[in-house]
Amino acid sequence: MAKRPSKKPQQLPLPVSLPPATTRVLPMHLRVGDRFADETGEWELIGPPYTSPGGKTVHARVQRVGQSATATDRSWDAYGRLSVTRASAKGEK
């Protein structure tokens, strides 16, 4: 009996640098430097997230992108996902 030729899918090379992608994450998985947008504009996380007692609400310190005078606290339900843009692994913010 003859062997069948293997049909492996051809892999394409990945680009050298991938642009930052939008990701949907739970609020507890936010990282300093993540950016998100809402009806008031684009915001950047400047402090790590923390939960209220009971863990149902997540809080974090945010500021408008490039405007440190607009720093404020934001709150989210712990079970709702957010669309964020992450900085690349090379330290880009």
Q: How confident is the model at residue 66 (pLDDT cuts 50, 70, 90)?
A: confident
Instruction: Report the alpha-carbon distance of residue 6 to residue 65 in Å, rounded.
Output: 51
Q: How confident is the model at residue 23 (pLDDT cuts 50, 70, 90)?
A: confident
What is residue 92's DSSP assignment? -
* Identity at 42, one-letter amino acid code: E
Q: What is the pLDDT of residues 46-63, one digit of tens each?
A: 999 999 998 899 999 999
pLDDT at 18: 46
Instruction: Report the alpha-carbon distance of residue 54 to residue 20 in Å, rounded.
Output: 33
Of 3.20.20.100, 3.40.50.450, 2.30.30.30, 1.10.10.10, which CATH number belongs to 22-85? 2.30.30.30
Q: Which helix (H) or strand (E) holds 57?
A: strand 57-64
